[in-house]
Each structure stands twice: as C-alpha cells, then as structure tokens.
C-alpha cells in the first residue's frame, strides 16, 4: 500500500528548509489548460503551502499565458520563486521549457525552486541549451521525481538537485462522487506521450481521455480577463487576487471532473500518471501502462511499494486480463 503520510513528510523535509527564510512567495506556471493531472499537481502544491503556513506569503500567481501578456514583475531577494511541477521539463513540451528558461534568466538574484518534475530530452542540442541557462543561476533548486531525471539534473553544474515525490501526493481533499457505472474503464492518453496503439478500442470498454472541458463560469471569466490585459494591468493588486481565485476554481473544477471520470469504473486501465495517483487517492484499483519514455514506471518504482490494487503491464491485452481477474476476486 502507498504510504501517503510518508510521502508528505518526504516533501516537507525537502521543501520546508528551502522556503522557510523568505518573506514572500511567487508562483509560476499555473497549469491553465484542461489536463486534469497538472491541476492535481497544483492542488497538492497549494495544500502543502496551506498546511505549512505559507499561503499568506503568496504575492504573485501566474500561468504561462499571462507571462507572455505582461511584463515580469520585479521581486526583491526576500521573495522565493516556485515553478509548478509536472512532466514538461525537456523538449517534448517546448513552450513550457521556454517559459521556464525565461523565468530563470530574468531572476538571477532570487532563489528559484523548480517543484518536482520528470526530465526528458529527445535532442542533445536542447539539453545543452537548457544547461546554458540553468548553470548561470546561482540559487536554483531542482526537484525531480525519479532517478533517471536525477542523473540528468546532476549534469547541470552548480544546481542543487533533490529527489522528491510528485506534489499530487499532498492532496488533502477529495470531492463527493457517485458510484461506478462500468466494471472496467480505460483513461488513455491521446497526445504525443502515448505509447499504446489504438487497437485497444477493439474492446467493448468505455475509453476516453480527460483533455476536454466544459466552458464553465470560471473558464469564461478567465477568458474575459485575458481579453482585456491592458485594463487588468492598471489594477495589479486586484488582478492578482482575481487571478488567484480563478486559478483555484479552475484547478478544483478540473480535478473534480477527472475524479468523476475515474469513479465510473470498478477498475481503471490508464497510461496517465495522475489518473493512477488519483485512483490511489480514491481507492480504485488501477492497471497501469507506461507513457512514451517510461515516466510512470520510473516514478512508481521509486515511491510506491507493492499494492493489491495496482498492477503494471506493457500490454493493453494483459491489462484487460488483469482487470478481469481482479473483478473475479
């Protein structure tokens, strides 16, 4: 069984010393898109900050889009900068990496903490470009979620590197949900990290991804704020309060939507890391396939012990067989 309290203690042991001496906190790279897993990371991050009496010190929250729409603020040395964790450190998701490099380059005198990431580069030239930016910063702390990423990160000369669990393990509150409608469901990637062919659709199993979202009030209000950036810039303090509120609402809505998808199945087959983590939080058995570069296997092997509700396989056919056997117990 997964020991969530031990993982939380691990997170506290690593992060608390890094932020305790700073008067204020600036949060960067809020995941303002429909992928539920990244919202789970954000909510875990916010639960950590709240539980450790850091929420009142947050003076800035932004996503990748708002960074492009307005000038970066000026922070003195009493502010620590936190970049949201996830699986976008590398060249698969280049816009996130460019945003990260921009933040690191623009704040050479502030402590920057990259919250837990998986690192993956397809091209050596992109790795070297990132190294050139990172190694110039004198107080950058890089948290990674697996040993493979740790080895890559150690090559960033002068950077402090730490192994740390994914921040989604820190989620403290789950939404109220319904009952399962199906014996087995499959929540499968439909993006460039997918390593499974669509042959799985031959099975009469409800299958979907979680990248589509309804246009809720929070989604529409976020769009409205972006439509009038010049007006919002005239009232920076109000803008930051509004943006923090909207981001919180968006993350909660997306996380709830993901939970509602997962609880439809008595057993879930998935190749999404956070679908698996959320299944553990919800107590749902999961059959886990990997993504295109073994991200899930690398993380599970480091932080999870064997569990009667979690199975790993490289084959969707075997995943269906394992799920069926579980239901027969």
| CB 186 within 8 Å of CB 204 | no
Rounded to the nearest integer, the mean pLDDT of the chain is 91
Euclidean distance between CA atoms 137 and 107, whole angstroms: 8
Q: What is the pLDDT, as a whole number, of residue 226? A: 72
Instruction: Show the 3-state SS of 225-255.
Output: HHHCHHHHHCCHHHHHHHHHHHHHHHHHHHH
DSSP string, 161-222: EEE---GGGG-----------EEEEEE---STT--S-GGGGGSSS-EE-S------HHHHHH
Q: What is the pLDDT, as a whole number, of residue 278? A: 96
| CB 309 within 8 Å of CB 277 | no
Distances (CA, A) of 271 to 23, 43, 105, 195, 207: 40, 21, 34, 8, 12
Name the class of domain 4-170: alpha beta
Helix (H) or strand (E) holding 300: helix 295-303
Share of the chain above pLDDT 70, in %: 94
Tokens 């709240």: give the residue. 50
Q: What is the pLDDT, as a whole number, of residue 176? A: 78
Over residues 120-136, the mean pLDDT reads 95
Closest residue by Cα to residue 268 from 190, 181, 177, 194: 181
At residue 278, the 3 state secondary structure works out as: helix
Q: What is the pLDDT, as a whole number, of residue 238? A: 59
Over residues 65-72, the mean pLDDT reads 69
| CB 37 within 8 Å of CB 274 | yes
pLDDT in tens, 38-52: 999 999 999 999 999
Q: What is the pLDDT, as a whole number, of residue 77? A: 95
pLDDT in tens, 154-206: 999 788 999 999 999 999 988 878 889 999 999 999 999 998 877 778 888 99
Distances (CA, A) of 30 to 40, 64, 257, 292: 11, 7, 18, 24
């Amino acid at each position: 069984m997964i020991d969530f309290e031990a993982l939380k203690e691990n997170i506290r042991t690593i992060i608390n010393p890094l932020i305790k001496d700073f008067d204020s906190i600036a949060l960067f790279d809020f995941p303002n898109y429909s992928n539920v897993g990244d919202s789970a990371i954000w909510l875990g991050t916010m639960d950590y900050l709240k539980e450790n009496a850091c929420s009142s010190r947050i003076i800035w929250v932004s996503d990748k889009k708002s960074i492009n729409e307005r000038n970066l603020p000026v922070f003195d040395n009493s502010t620590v900068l936190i970049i949201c964790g996830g699986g976008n450190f590398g060249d698969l998701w280049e816009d996130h990496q460019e945003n990260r490099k921009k933040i690191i380059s623009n704040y050479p005198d502030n402590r920057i903490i990259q919250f837990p990431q998986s690192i993956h580069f397809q091209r050596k030239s992109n790795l070297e470009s990132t190294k050139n930016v990172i190694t110039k910063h004198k107080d950058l702390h890089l948290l990674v979620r697996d040993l493979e990423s740790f080895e890559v990160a150690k090559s960033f000369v002068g950077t402090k590197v730490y192994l740390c669990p994914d921040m989604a393990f820190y989620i403290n509150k789950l939404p109220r949900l319904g009952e399962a409608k199906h014996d087995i469901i499959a929540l499968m990637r439909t993006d460039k990290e997918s390593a499974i062919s669509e042959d799985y659709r031959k099975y009469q199993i409800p299958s979907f991804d979680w990248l589509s979202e309804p246009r809720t009030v929070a989604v529409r209000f976020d769009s409205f704020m972006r439509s009038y950036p010049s007006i919002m810039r005239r009232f920076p303090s109000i803008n930051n309060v509004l943006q923090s509120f909207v981001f919180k609402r968006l993350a909660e809505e997306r996380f709830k939507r993901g939970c509602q998808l997962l609880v439809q199945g008595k057993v879930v087959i998935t190749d999404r890391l956070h679908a698996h983590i959320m299944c553990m939080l919800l107590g749902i058995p999961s059959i886990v396939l990997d993504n295109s570069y073994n991200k899930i296997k690398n993380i599970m092997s480091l932080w999870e012990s064997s569990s009667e509700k979690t199975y790993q396989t490289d084959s969707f056919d075997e995943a269906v067989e394992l799920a069926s056997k579980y239901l027969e117990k």
